Structures are given as structure tokens and as C-alpha cells.
Amino acid sequence: MTTPGFPTLSDERAARLRGYGREDRVAAGDVLFRAGDPGYDFIYLDSAAVEIIREASGDAPAAVVTRIEPGRFVGELNLLTGQAPFLTALAGRSASTRLRPILAYSDAIRATIFTGAYPDEHGYWMEYCFRPERSPFASLERLRPLDRFPSDFARRGLKFALSKTVVRRIARRAGYEELSLRHFPFRALGSFDWTLRSAMTAPGSLGLPTLFDELTGADVPWSYLDSFKSGRRGVLRAADELPIDTRFAFVYLHPIDMASHLVGIESPLFRSVVRRTDALVAEVLRRIERRLGEHDLVLFSDHGMSSVDRSVSFPDLWVHPAFPEHFCFALDATMVRLWYHDPDPRLRAELRQRVASEAPGRFLGADELASLHLDFDGRLYGDEVYLLDPPAAIFPNFHSMLRPKAMHAYHPDEPDQHGIFVAPPEEEVGETVELVDVHSLCRRLVGVGGNERKLELASYA
């Protein structure tokens, strides 16, 4: 099979190209590069032809994906963008398109993927919420004088140490799988609660049944692999040890998301992480195919990234004399959320003005919140939400330990916020896939209620 419409170089451009490269002679059967190689050259085919071959795995024999004739070239995307070959080739031979995210951070994005519903339907938007009536942190409010400590870094370090010690004991006693102080102000600790007590993959953890609940109910064996919790070696080991009857595997790989926050998407270190993650995806797939045989693959990045070149901190909120008795606030990396404890219109107007003057953005009105599927009935996630515009981000905020160099959770209409979506080649996809559509496709492919196909869902951000 030859790829139709594959670009060629004119004789003039080919002649110019020869002046920048080195001529190599190859024999039939020579391997130029393999899937997962950390990088490869731009290769112009002067008189040779190249076949792109899918390696044998499980019960599937090796197969020719496409043939590239003389006068054409391979490796251009890797040269131009720093991408490694596996994902580029996979997207080229599959049904791939853009994926529109929701306005949320990674945990709420996963909740939407797992349920096929928007946040105001399944009820989860942030890992912590305003719930003073059942806050597990209320006993720690006696530490409120520590808010006056002059070093933000020292306060963060203290909260990190408490989260690893005292807060873990609180979590065990109160029945939470996980708790953390993040960077909540000490004097407002009694206002906040961890939104979920158990992991999202636990039975009945969200307001709606998850895909995992449905699979369990249908007696479909499934597995969840998470590199954030188990690391690269742990994910590979888990792939090797998947139960042989597994019909659905969700693999979450976090290195790209982490690297973009830490070093930015323009950094050579980021491109290196992309290449290593590409190799990791290829290896995970190889091991799963070796363990389980042929399967369908849905692979996606559930959001994009925008570079950050301006940090804002909203210092007036931390020291405001009305905080926390008359209002409370939360600083996420791209949002400010406010709660008002009394109806004083002057305080509300003052706070709105202070927030809006600090960073470009806007308060989300009722209509916009509804269009973003953030129209919640209660006050868990804020009485008002101020959304920043890129390239600004908040630091210090309540979550990040280090200043972010790139962020998601800006408005989903921002093109840089879009992810990618790769489905089996026989699937029909439009110009854009909505995040909620991932659930229904996986449910159909894995055969809940009918079909008997195996499916791997790989997510990286």
C-alpha cells in the first residue's frame, strides 16, 4: 500500500537538499528506525523505497502500513517539532482529530472521561471544596498565627510536612483515602473539605456511575494503570502482569503534563520528555499486546497547554481584614474563586475590583457558567469565579509547589488548550471531539451490553 498524495521534492529542491546532508547506501531489509526510538533523522529517498511496518505482537503478524516511494521523504515531523516517531506514525494511520477540553483541572477532566458527563452533571469540579460543616481540617485552625510567617516558601514547606504526617492520621481517622493541606491559609482551614473520600475508580465514588462501575456491573474485567502513582517501572510491570482475561485497560501517563508545568513547552527538556513518553507509550502497547493480544486503542491528550509569561499573586486577598470572617477565597492556577459570608454589596464590589485589577480575565456570569457546564446548585466551588486569560497564571496558589511555566484550565475556546484524540482507523471523527464523547466510544468498543472486543484507553497530558 502506498500513501496517496505524499509530498515529493522537485529536482531543484532535491539538489539543494543534498548539499546539507550525507548520502547513505542501504540494502533491502535494512532498518532505518524503529517505533519508540528517541529520535531519527530527516531522510530523503533518492533511489530507494521504504516500507513502514507494524511489528508483530500477540496474535497479529507483522504488516506493512504504507510504502514511501523514491523522491519522497520521512522524518520531517521529528526534525521540525522534536516529536518521537511512534505517536506521529500512530496518528497518521488512525482516526485522529482535535479534542476540546472542559474548563477544569486534571482530576475533574478524568471525572468527565470516566462518567461521560459534564461537571455540573456528575458534581465534581475541584479536588477541594467549601464545606465548613464537615471540614476535616478544623482542628488545625489553631495554627492560624503561622499565616503571619513572612516566607511563603517556609509556609509551603510546613504545610507539606504536616500533610505527610498529621494530616495523614486525620485522613485515616476520618475515612479519607487522601488529604492534603495544599496551600490553604491556616486561618481558613476550617472552611475547606476534600471533595471525594475515595478514588474515582472506587465503586460509586462520583455522583454518576463511572465506566468502571458499568464494567464491574457487566462482569467485564478491567485494570487502571497510573504512572503518577507507580512510576514508569510500575506501569510497565503492571502491563506485564495484567490478568489474562482483561478486556479494558486505562493507562494514565503524566510526564508530559508535569514537564510542561515545570519547564514550559518551549524548553529542550520538555521536548526530551515528549520523546521519552513517546517511547514509553510504544513500550506499554507492546507489552499489553504481548500479554493480551490484539486490541482496539483509543489514545488522547485530554487538554493542551498555554505558555505562562506573567505571574500574579493577589496579595490583597491574603491580608484583607474581612478574611476569613466575611469572605473566603481559593486561588487556583488560572482561577480565583470567592465565597461571601454576608450580603454586604460594598465588600463584594471591592473584592471584585481588586481581583479584576490584578490580572486580565473576567468574572464568569450565569450564562457562561451554564455554557461551560459549571452551573452547580450549591456553593461548593464558589459564589463567583474569575477566570484568567493566558499567558497569566496565579502563583502562589493553593496547589502548585513551584511557579508554573505552562498551564491548562483556561477557557476551552483557546486553541492552545485543545488536546489530540486518536481512535481506531475505522472510526469516523469530525474536526473536533468533545471530552464527554470519549466515554461513549470506549463503552461501545469494549462491548458493555454486547460486543466482545478488548480495548486499551491511553491518556497522557
Cα–Cα nearest to 96, from 446, 419, 460, 452:
419
Cα–Cα nearest to 404, from 310, 331, 267:
310
Task: Tell me which of 2-6, 183-187, 188-192, 312-316 is least confident.
Answer: 2-6
Other C-beta atoms lying within 10 Å of the C-beta of residue 165: 10
Cross-strand partners of 44: 73
Helix (H, G, I), strand (E, B) or coil at 446: helix
Task: Tell me which of 193-197, 342-346, 435-439, 446-450 is least confident.
Answer: 446-450
| Mean of the per-residue pLDDT values of the chain | 87
Cα–Cα nearest to 248, from 440, 421, 446:
446
User: Confidence class of residue 220 from pLDDT cuts 50, 70 and 90?
Assistant: very high
Q: 145-161 pLDDT, tens per residue?
A: 999 888 888 999 999 99
Is 331 within 8 Å of 280 (Cβ atoms)? no
DSSP letter at 60 equals B
Helix (H, G, I), strand (E, B) or coil at 361: strand
Cross-strand partners of 51: 67
Within 8 A by CB and 6+ apart from 160, the residues are 181, 401
Instruction: Tell me the one-letter amino acid at 66.
Output: T
Q: Which residue has the higher pLDDT, 449 or 445?
A: 445
Handedness of CA 390, 394, 400, 401 (dihedral sign): positive
CA distance 264 to 333: 15
Per-residue pLDDT at 459: 59
Is 131 within 8 Å of 192 (Cβ atoms)? yes
pLDDT, mean of residues 386-393: 97
Per-residue pLDDT at 80: 45
CA distance 438 to 419: 12
pLDDT, mean of residues 102-106: 96
Residue whose cell numbers read 509530498: 7
pLDDT at position 451 over 50: no
pLDDT at position 1 over 60: no
Per-residue pLDDT at 60: 63
Per-residue pLDDT at 457: 56
Task: Tell me which of 82-86, 136-140, 404-408 is least confident.
Answer: 82-86
DSSP line for 106-166: HHHHHHHHHHSS-HHHH----SEEE-GGG-TTGGGGGGGGGGG-S-HHHHHHHHHHHHHTH
Is 78 within 8 Å of 95 (Cβ atoms)? no
pLDDT, mean of residues 34-47: 66
User: Confidence class of residue 424 from pLDDT cuts 50, 70 and 90?
Assistant: confident
User: Confidence class of residue 286 from pLDDT cuts 50, 70 and 90?
Assistant: very high
Q: 76-97 pLDDT, tens per residue?
A: 555 445 555 677 777 777 788 8
Task: Tell me which of 20-34, 161-175, 446-460 is least confident.
Answer: 446-460
User: Confidence class of residue 2 from pLDDT cuts 50, 70 and 90?
Assistant: very low
CA distance 435 to 50: 37
3-state helix, strand, coil in the chain (%, to 5): 35, 20, 45
pLDDT at position 461 over 60: no
Cα–Cα nearest to 359, from 380, 377, 333:
333
Per-residue pLDDT at 5: 47
pLDDT, mean of residues 221-233: 93
User: Confidence class of residue 426 from pLDDT cuts 50, 70 and 90?
Assistant: confident
Output the CA torsion 351→352→354→358 (10° steps). 140
Helix (H, G, I), strand (E, B) or coil at 49: coil
Per-residue pLDDT at 452: 43
pLDDT, mean of residues 40-56: 75
CA distance 98 to 82: 20
Residue whose cell numbers read 475515612: 175
Per-residue pLDDT at 83: 59
Per-residue pLDDT at 179: 95
Per-residue pLDDT at 94: 78
pLDDT, mean of residues 427-450: 84
Q: Where are the domains of the chain?
A: 11-83, 97-119+199-307+413-460, 130-193, 315-402
DSSP letter at 187 equals G
> What Rg do the C-alpha atoms of the chain give, in angstroms?
25
CA distance 438 to 426: 16
- 338-351 burial: b if 16+ Cβ within 10 Å, else e: bbbbeeeeebbeeb
Is 86 within 8 Å of 274 (Cβ atoms)? no
Q: 122-132 pLDDT, tens per residue?
A: 999 999 999 99
**pLDDT above 70 as % of the chain:** 87
Architecture of domain 97-119+199-307+413-460: 3-Layer(aba) Sandwich (3.40)
